[in-house]
Structures are given as structure tokens and as C-alpha cells.
């Protein structure tokens, strides 16, 4: 990777943003989002990006402390040396953050928006919301009703063994016309195929990642046994994997996340492949701040994104977002039109939430 503007410093900043709703993890409940912000600087350049790696290596192998370390010790030095090829295996979220920060700097210097760079024509995109495992069915119904009233165009329900057919049936009964989908985060095996087939009666948009992320054969077999479209999320780590999954019949829908596939360039390749083959596409979320949300909203404005993404308004996750908040308007979010990502951290929020700053000098 090389830059078309001079970059002399890379800043690795950790910010802590309190969450509106605590987020359940494998080891407890997360009440604060620990975010790694990458900022690149030069004589006439500044660019920002967010690394979406979570706090723990439980959802993905990548985690925020590891991403920070690999950026400091390997990725930034390689960038400073002008190395074009990846110098580490894996770590897509760290690589994506550096790529996006450099692109943001280049676009800001050229006074060009990310939307213009991507060639999108839509000024806004439909927003969907994801709801985690609730304490009870009545609590879930209350949450769905509240978010539907706010204007969200699609609701995604997390499911797992013991929390699937009953809550989905209850939501569908209360909201017969709601655009509804489910996400299993790989919590089932193919042995549950008959049980998962019970989802077919609810008219769902899709069933996301029902099996393990490395089980393409199982997903292909399940897709042949279910009417509900199978969507892959964690499985899709590159354009090569996406093409293989589609060719095998393992999915008919793809959830695309820039961080998971290693950057915007790879995300666009996956978009183009899916669009050419008529595979439905939507943009997933990783509890991003406004920096990451700006990137997602611009990406989701590409023509291949035919389903609402996990593109909630800022107040869904944060009491106060790092940037000016994204606000829901008639079920949509506006695509930022300013230079680069179109958003920047608010200085007062950045100062109040920063826990550490490390600046790497590329001139040494």
C-alpha cells in the first residue's frame, strides 16, 4: 500500500465510548466500547479511520489489543518502507483501518468525497437494526415495537439453540409485514437442519450464518433443505472465499463488512462479484462509531446492496458519538457528502473519551 499524499506520522488512539445498551460477550457484559482510532498525518494531509476489532478474540480471532500491536510493530513500518504486499498473515481489521485512513487523507486532500470515489448515486440508504438475545419474549416484542416506531426498515433477531422458533414466531405474529431476518452467529450444526427448517414458515428475508464459518459444505447442504435464503457473514473473508461460497451454493445472500475482508478495495471486489451473479448483498455492522458508520453508509449506497444493512443511527449504540451523530430520517441514513469519509471526530468528545495516544514517526 502506498499513498498519493505525503504521510509522516501515524497516530494510534484508544477511546472508550459508553454503550447505551450493554453488549453481551463470551466472558460477560461489555458496557464500554474500546475503539482503536487510526489517524494519518502529513504536511498537507490528515485521514481518519476506525479499527472494528472487538475487545476479545471470541467473535473473531482479531481483537483490539492485537490490532494495535500489529499496526505498531508491522503494518505501519511496512507502510513507511513502501511495501505494497501484505507483510503479515491475517489481521484484516488492522489492515483495513490503515487502508481507510490513508484513503481518507487522499480524498480530503483532493476535496473529494468517498461517495464520489466509489461512484455512488444514492444520497441515502435504508437502515436496519439488530437486536440481541432478550431476557424474555415480551421484552423482545417491546424492543421491536419501539424500533419499528422509530422508522427502521428491517429488524434482525439474534438466535441460538433454545432461543429461535418461539421468539421469531412471536415477532412475526405481532408484525406480520415487517422485513425480518435472523442471525445465528454460527451457533448450530447441520444436525439441526430440520429444526432450522421451522424458520421457513415465518417469511424471513434470510437466515444469517447458521453454521460454523468454515463449514461451506454444511451451508450448501442446509441451503438445499431450507426455503429461507442462507446468508453468510463470518465466512466471507475475501473475494475468493465469496466466489467459492456462491459457486458451491452455500449462500444466496452476502453480509459484507469492510473490516472483516481487509479493506475497502476488497469489499468493492466482493460487491462487484455478487452484483454480477445476482447475489443479494447488505452491509453489516460492528458497533462502529461515526467514523466507521460513515464508511459503511457510503459503501451501502453502491448499487449491489439491495437489502437494508445494520446501519443504525448513532443513538442506538452511543449516548454521544465520536462524530456528529447519524440520525434516522424516514428509515434512512444520509450518505456523507463532505471530503473523505465526510465526518471527523468532534474535538471535545475525542478529548473526553481518549485513554491513550501513540504517535509513530514515519520519517525515522
Query: What confidence tens digit (pLDDT) does each residue in 44-67 have?
Result: 999 999 999 999 998 899 999 999
Of these residues, 147, 257, 271, 316, which one is catalytic?
A: 257
Q: Say if 2 falls within a structural domain.
A: no
Q: Say if 340 falls within a structural domain.
A: no
Short-list 57, 53, 32, 44, CA closest to 98: 53
Of these residues, 39, 154, 158, 219, which one is catalytic?
A: 158
Q: Return the ∠ at Cα 267 (arms to 262 and 222), rounded to 5°.
A: 95
DSSP per-residue letters across 63-124:
-HHHHHHHIIIIIHHHHHTT--S--SSS-HHHHHHHHHHHHHHHHHHTT-BHHHHHT---SE
Q: Are residues 225 and 247 in the same domain?
A: yes
Q: Are residues 125 and 104 in the same domain?
A: no
Q: Are residues 241 and 275 in the same domain?
A: yes
d(CA 332, CA 291): 18
* pLDDT of 234 higher than 80: yes
* pLDDT of 26 higher than 70: no
Contact 247, 277 (CB under 8 A): no
Q: Are residues 205 and 328 in the same domain?
A: yes
Rg, the chain, Cα only:
20
Q: What is the mean predicted confidence (pLDDT) over 104-128? A: 97
d(CA 152, CA 149): 8
Q: Say if 17 falls within a structural domain.
A: yes
Collapse the DSSP code of 168 into the 3-class scheme (helix H, G, I; strand E, B; otherwise coil) and give the result: helix
Q: Are residues 188 and 91 in the same domain?
A: no
Short-list 269, 299, 259, CA closest to 125: 299
Q: Are residues 44 and 139 in the same domain?
A: no
d(CA 183, CA 168): 11
Q: Say if 339 falls within a structural domain.
A: no
Q: Are residues 36 and 165 in the same domain?
A: no
Asked if 257 is an active-site residue, the reply is: yes
d(CA 202, CA 173): 9
* pLDDT of 27 higher than 70: no
Task: Give the number of other Cβ atoms within 10 Å of residue 307's Cβ.
Answer: 21
Q: Are residues 291 and 355 in the same domain?
A: no
What is the pLDDT of the chain when averaged over all its residues?
95
pLDDT at site 4 = 84
Q: What is the CATH number of the domain that holds 68?
A: 3.30.390.10
Q: What is the mean predicted confidence (pLDDT) over 278-302? A: 97
Q: Say if 313 falls within a structural domain.
A: yes
pLDDT tier for residue 119 given thresholds of 50, 70 and 90: very high
Q: Are residues 85 and 136 in the same domain?
A: no
How many domains are there within the chain?
2
pLDDT at site 3 = 76
Residue 57 sits in which domain range? 9-111+345-361
The 10s digit of each residue's pLDDT in 95-112 is: 999 999 999 999 999 999
Q: Say if 3 falls within a structural domain.
A: no
Q: What is the mean predicted confidence (pLDDT) over 231-239? A: 98
pLDDT at site 38 = 98
* pLDDT of 9 higher than 80: yes
* CA distances, 349 to each of 17, 155, 318, 323 (Å): 9, 30, 12, 8
Q: Are residues 104 and 152 in the same domain?
A: no
Q: Are residues 247 and 307 in the same domain?
A: yes
Short-list 114, 121, 89, CA closest to 262: 89
Q: What is the CATH number of the domain that holds 326?
A: 3.20.20.120
Q: Say if 325 falls within a structural domain.
A: yes
Q: Say if 291 falls within a structural domain.
A: yes
pLDDT at site 218 = 98
* pLDDT of 359 higher than 70: yes
Q: What is the mean predicted confidence (pLDDT) over 188-202? A: 98
Q: Are residues 146 and 185 in the same domain?
A: yes
Amino acid at each position: 500500500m502506498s499513498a498519493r499524499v505525503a504521510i509522516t506520522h501515524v497516530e494510534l488512539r484508544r477511546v472508550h465510548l459508553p454503550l447505551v445498551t450493554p453488549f453481551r460477550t463470551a466472558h460477560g457484559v461489555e458496557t464500554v466500547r474500546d475503539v482503536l482510532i487510526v489517524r494519518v498525518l502529513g504536511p498537507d494531509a490528515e485521514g481518519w479511520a476506525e479499527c472494528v476489532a472487538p475487545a476479545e478474540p471470541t467473535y473473531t480471532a482479531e481483537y483490539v489489543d492485537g490490532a494495535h500491536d500489529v499496526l505498531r510493530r508491522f503494518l505501519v513500518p511496512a507502510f513507511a518502507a513502501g511495501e505494497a504486499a501484505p507483510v503479515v498473515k491475517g489481521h484484516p481489521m488492522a489492515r483495513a483501518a490503515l487502508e481507510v485512513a490513508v484513503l481518507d487523507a487522499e480524498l480530503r486532500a483532493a476535496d473529494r468525497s468517498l461517495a464520489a470515489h466509489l461512484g455512488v448515486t444514492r444520497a441515502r440508504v435504508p437502515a436496519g437494526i439488530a437486536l440481541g438475545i432478550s431476557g424474555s419474549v415480551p421484552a423482545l416484542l417491546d424492543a421491536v415495537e419501539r424500533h419499528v416506531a422509530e422508522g427502521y426498515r428491517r429488524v434482525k433477531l439474534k438466535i441460538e439453540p433454545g432461543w429461535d422458533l418461539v421468539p421469531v414466531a412471536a415477532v412475526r405474529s405481532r408484525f406480520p409485514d415487517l422485513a425480518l431476518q435472523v442471525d445465528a452467529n454460527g451457533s448450530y450444526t447441520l444436525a439441526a437442519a430440520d429444526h432450522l427448517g421451522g424458520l421457513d414458515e415465518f417469511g424471513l428475508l434470510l437466515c444469517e450464518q447458521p453454521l460454523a464459518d468454515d463449514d461451506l459444505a454444511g451451508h450448501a447442504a442446509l441451503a438445499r433443505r431450507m426455503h429461507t435464503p442462507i446468508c453468510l457473514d463470518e465466512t466471507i473473508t475475501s473475494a475468493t472465499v465469496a466466489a467459492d461460497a456462491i459457486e458451491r451454493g452455500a449462500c444466496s445472500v452476502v453480509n459484507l463488512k469492510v473490516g472483516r475482508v481487509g479493506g475497502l478495495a476488497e469489499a468493492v471486489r466482493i460487491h462487484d462479484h455478487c452484483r454480477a451473479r445476482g447475489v443479494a448483498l447488505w452491509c453489516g455492522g460492528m458497533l462502529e462509531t461515526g467514523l466507521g458508520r460513515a464508511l459503511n453508509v457510503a459503501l451501502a449506497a453502491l448499487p449491489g446492496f439491495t437489502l437494508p444493512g445494520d446501519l443504525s443511527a448513532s443513538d442506538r449504540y452511543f449516548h454521544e458519538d465520536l462524530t456528529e451523530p447519524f440520525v434516522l430520517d424516514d428509515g434512512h441514513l444520509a450518505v456523507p457528502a463532505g471530503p473523505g469519509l465526510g465526518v471527523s471526530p468532534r474535538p471535545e468528545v475525542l478529548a473526553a473519551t481518549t485513554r491513550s495516544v501513540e504517535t509513530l514517526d514515519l520519517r525515522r
